[in-house]
Amino acid sequence: MVRSGGGEDEAKEMVVELTKTLKEGERLVSPTRRPDETLRKPIPIKAGYTLQDEVAIYKSKGALVYYAPSYDPEVDVSKPKTKSAKRNERKKEKHLLVCHLTFVYVRIVV
């Protein structure tokens, strides 16, 4: 059931007819061919709509750090730190310092 000839002309005619009615910012997805060689209708897309295929894939901060080593999460922070966050940061620094000093002391003594 292969049709020859007229399919391309039909597609061009459909596209020309639909482009006359498009408003500013709208666009048209050209007709595609089915396996049985018939044509699908061209699809008009409204202004401002993003097709699902063109939407950017969401990446978490962890994925950004893993895949892009130049990503710095400290720069991305837009909110000021809360009182408890500052206190936790000080505790963490103190803990790291104590652990490091303990490790150094154990190595010297032993």
Mean of pLDDT over the chain: 76
The b/e string for 82-110 (b: 16+ C-beta within 10 A; e otherwise) is: eeeeeeeeeeeeeeeeeeeeeeeeeeeee
DSSP assigned state of 55: S
Share above pLDDT 70 across residues of the chain, in percent, rounded to a whole number:
74
Instruction: Count how many Cα atoms sit within 13 Å of the Cα of residue 22 in the half-sphere of its side chain.
Output: 18
CA distance 93 to 86: 11
pLDDT in the model for residue 1: 44
Using left for φ > 0, alpha for ψ between -120 and 50, and beta otherwise, residue 63 falls in: alpha
* The pLDDT of residue 36 is above 90: yes
Q: Looking up tokens 């310092």, which residue turns up? A: 97
In which band, very low, low, confident or very high, does the pLDDT at 84 lie, cut at 50, 70 and 90? very high
pLDDT attached to residue 88? 92
The structure tokens listed for 53 are 């295929």
Q: Per-residue pLDDT for 76 more than 60?
A: no
pTM of this structure: 0.37
Q: Is the pLDDT reported for residue 10 higher than 80?
A: no
